Amino acid sequence: MPELPEVEVVRAGLAPAVTGATVLGATVLDERALTRHTGDAAGFEATLTGRVIEGAARRGKFLWLPLASLAADESREAVVAHLGMSGQLLLRTPGAATERHERVRLDIAHPVHGELAVVFADQRTFGSLAIDDLVPTPDGAAGGYGLAAASVPSQVTHIARDPLDPAFSDAAFRRALARKDSAIKRVLLDQTVISGVGNIYADESLWAARIHPETPARALTTRAVNRLLVEVRHVLEKALAEGGTSFDAQYVNVNGQAGYFAHSLNAYGRTGEPCPRCGRPIVRVSFTNRSSHFCPKCQRRA
């Protein structure tokens, strides 16, 4: 599943193309792409047509495109996107051939870049688009990365801030861990505690911080939690610089290009290979419906 770096690469690619653009028309080819939308395909298409997109924002793995209000007393809305397991948001030229697994297409006109098409393609149909109301953030800080507005789609309010968000609170994260008996990896994957970290980057961050994935969160010292946050941020920033991690053709940016962070992994997917730090074989164990990869020597359980 795409994680924060993959989604941020998509957001950053979309932003210059959609900010200030007018939606000329929307075409829903598969209503399964609107599972989180309250309404039908016709309403989705009609609501978007003629609207101006104000930018592209992200919180965790959610993206949204805020829409300019048609009247001063109207509630603010946004197009919310979740890529699911295989969703893609692609930029294409006007009239470009239908993409394989294309579900929704937005035809837009940008004042500088001219006409473009924003295509939502999704092989496994777990991703979605929706028009949702924007609501104020409880802390008054920007709702998501990429925009300054202190608002967030109602569907995203339960998602915690991610560790690259300027408004992320290290102290609040430490307090949350102190109350958790769950394994630290389970907490890292809990999007209501910290967002944007999935299986790959959790394994990589825990390896870098020398923390066993099954260590109870509350057993970690303040120093260990601080070290973990440093490594989480380092891993995410490095992945961002390399365009994300790509293991199959689904994980691409808006131009269809894959990321390269997979070549920099130290633990994830390296079962039986020597640990880059100590040389002991990396092991793989079952973890809920996933797997954990770690070094049994460097990452001893507390």
Kindly name the residue from 242, 284, 290, 296 that is annotated as catalytic.
290
Q: DSSP assignment, residue 52?
A: B
SS3 state at 246: coil
State yes or no: 180 annotated in a binding site: yes
Torsion of CA 187, 198, 153, 178, to 10 degrees: 20
Cβ partners under 8 Å of residue 100, min gap 6: 121, 123
Residue 290 bears catalytic tag: yes
Report DSSP letters for 254-296, one per residue: TTSPBP-GGGG-SSTT-TTSBPTTT-PBPEEEEETTEEEEE-T
Kindly name the residue from 11, 51, 58, 61 that is annotated as catalytic.
61
Whole-angstrom Cα distance, residue 193 to residue 120?
Answer: 29
State yes or no: 227 annotated in a binding site: no
- The answer to whether the Cα torsion of 248, 249, 254, 259 is positive or negative is positive
Residue 2 bears catalytic tag: yes
Residue 32 bears catalytic tag: no
Residue 297 bears catalytic tag: no
State yes or no: 101 annotated in a binding site: yes
Run of H or E including 91 = strand 87-92
Whole-angstrom Cα distance, residue 237 to residue 223?
Answer: 21
Provide the annotated binding site: 101, 124, 180
Catalytic residues: 2-3, 61, 290
Annotated binding-site residues for DNA read 101, 124, 180
